[in-house]
Amino acid sequence: HFGGGGKPEGTQSYIVLNLPRSGSSWLQEVSMMHPGIKVQFELGIEKANEALTCKQCYRSSIPNTKFASRIPPKQHPPKACGMSLFSEHNSIEAVRVQAEKHKAKLLILLRKNHVAHAVSSYRHFTPGHNNRVPWDSARVTKEVEKLKGGYDKLLQFAGRVGRPAYLIWYENMSRDPERVWAGIERFLNLQGANMSSFSELHPKASTKQSIQYLEHLDDIQRRLGGGSWGEMVMNG
């Protein structure tokens, strides 16, 4: 806990913006293993004053992480204080106001493949969970279209909030986590932090391609229509 109500001098504030199923759990676990970071995930922007000024130590409030017992003691003051938001639940203007007030940088999590993202969301949030979820092409197609709108809004944050933004691709968290984290460190000016407790940088667990997804790919393509298929599959 920091007294006085203000952010410690030299501490960088940041806001993570993402859609569900785009890598925020990985970023949460890795961030909490860094001794120089204090961060709270999946808040509303109304909590910015608490999260971005480091008023609270959130070490004990990390949900469902297998690394909870290994979270190291935090540096005082920390190098960075952050929060994460689901972009679909927060307005661009509200984020802009708080980001400017706290001089916060933005980390934006993205997935290149909209269809794989839609399948992941469908399987995760549908009762029955994962491989026991019955295939429903119409619902998956609607999820793809919903995500496309979500990405359109998510990318507007980078341009309209007016603060420095760093894009992080979900696929790279699995392919090259060290490079992803090195980029985040540079962006948040974390170089020089004590990393003695941060030696096991684990990759984002790959989301295995669903057999159902592969079997029904043609059906999804037909429903989306040839003209929009390529645009929806690859973003970036």
pLDDT given at position 47: 87
pLDDT given at position 166: 94
Cα gap 46→227, rounded to integer Å: 40
CB distance 79 to 12 below 8 Å: yes
pLDDT given at position 49: 86
DSSP state string for 79-148: SEEEEEEEGGGS-HHHHHHHHHHHT-EEEEEE-S-HHHHHHHHHHHHSTT-GGGSPP-HHHHHHHHHHHH
- pLDDT (tens digit, 0 to 9) for every residue of the chain, 236 residues total? 344 456 667 889 999 999 988 988 888 888 887 888 888 887 889 888 888 887 654 443 444 556 666 677 777 778 898 999 998 889 999 999 999 999 999 999 988 877 788 888 888 887 765 556 677 778 888 888 888 888 888 989 988 999 999 999 988 887 888 888 889 999 998 865 544 444 555 555 544 444 445 455 566 556 555 444 344 444 33
CB distance 52 to 102 below 8 Å: yes
